[in-house]
Amino acid sequence: MPNTLPPAIFLMGPTATGKTDLAIALCKELPCDIISVDSVMVYRGLDIGSAKPDAATLAAAPHRLIDICDPAKPFSAAQFRQRALEEINEILNRGRIPLLVGGTMLYFRALEQGLSVLPSSDPVVRVRLEAELAEQGLAHLHARLAQVDPEAAGRIHVNDPQRTLRALEVFELSGQPMSTFLQRDIDNDLPCRPIKIVLTPMDRALLHRRIEQRFQIMLEQGLMAEVEALYHRDDLHADLPSMRAVGYRQAWAHLDGQWDYDTMVEKGIIATRQFAKRQLTWLKHEPEEAAFRLSFEEKPEQILTQVLKYLAASAI
């Protein structure tokens, strides 16, 4: 049966592929309202390093779910899903089209597929695991995770202490791998029909050059001053999810004296490239027939024309 739900546009792609510019162009052609799907833009004060749209852009094309959380607090995929559904319903009720834009693929998946109920965090177990992390190192804990939950270990980066600890905590509390919980989708009914557009690189080397150029521009715009202001806040530390974001993590380490400036820049660029690679891996799992894919290397007006043609064929 045809899906008769109202449409919503899901504009996805790796970092530095021009998603925001395309979204703003679409808003000039269609009755769209933008919802940001970005796990860093949710934080207030993380502006330059997240490539958050500037005030003039936001005035012309407001973005929902930007600047909604203090960086001292974590913001989960479950929180995003709840807030995004509220925004989607509000936009639909006004007879407009939700345009969800970003590169946080976990958020897109949580929104579309729902979330499973995981055991709540236990302070006693968490403190013990954090002590083991300090004593034995992250590699040891990640290796242990690989033994009890190979699927989670394969999905979680070896340098991600937050998610490694959480996966081990879930196993200790429940006796079951986290991956078994993630297979139990609940409450996954969307009030809309997702129409997916994916900006991808035909030339990976060009994407890498774009990433390097953008990181240098962020530094010129004052990234270090932005991170330094966060660094001097008493309620922030390097292990918070906000401060582990790409770019912020490397700048924080430089301020902590771990690296000199040039090393920080190099590591920031490398980390951003690795992040883009993970985003592309997520996007490869999207069925070809479920998304309209096009190269970000094309001229912006050509991209816009192709996308509008596809949306028209998709009954928008």
Give pLDDT, residue 1.
47
pTM above 0.85, yes or no: no
Ordered by start, the domain boundaries in the chain are 7-115+185-313, 123-182
Both tokens assigned to 77? 């995929």
Give pLDDT, residue 2.
58
Of 76, 93, 57, which is closest to residue 192 (Cα–Cα)? Answer: 93
Collapsing DSSP to helix, strand or coil, 258 comes out as: coil
Give pLDDT, residue 178.
85
Q: What does CATH list as the number for 7-115+185-313? A: 3.40.50.300
Give pLDDT, residue 128.
87
Give 3-state DSSP helix, strand, coil % of the chain, rounded to 5: 55, 10, 35
Of 270, 161, 280, which is closest to residue 208 (Cα–Cα)? Answer: 270
Give pLDDT, residue 77.
87
pLDDT < 70: residue spans in the chain:
1-2, 182-188
Range 123-182: architecture per CATH = Orthogonal Bundle (1.10)
Give pLDDT, residue 184.
57
CA-to-CA distance for 239 and 79, rounded, in angstroms? 20
Q: CB–CB of 83/55 below 8 Å?
A: no
Both tokens assigned to 53? 């749209």
Give pLDDT, residue 113.
85
Q: CB–CB of 231/252 below 8 Å?
A: yes
Give pLDDT, residue 122.
81
Q: CB–CB of 206/297 below 8 Å?
A: yes
**Count of beta carbons in the 10 Å neighbourhood of residue 96:** 14
> In degrees to the nearest 10, what's the CA dihedral of 297, 301, 306, 307?
90
> In CATH terms, are 7-115+185-313 and 123-182 the same topology?
no
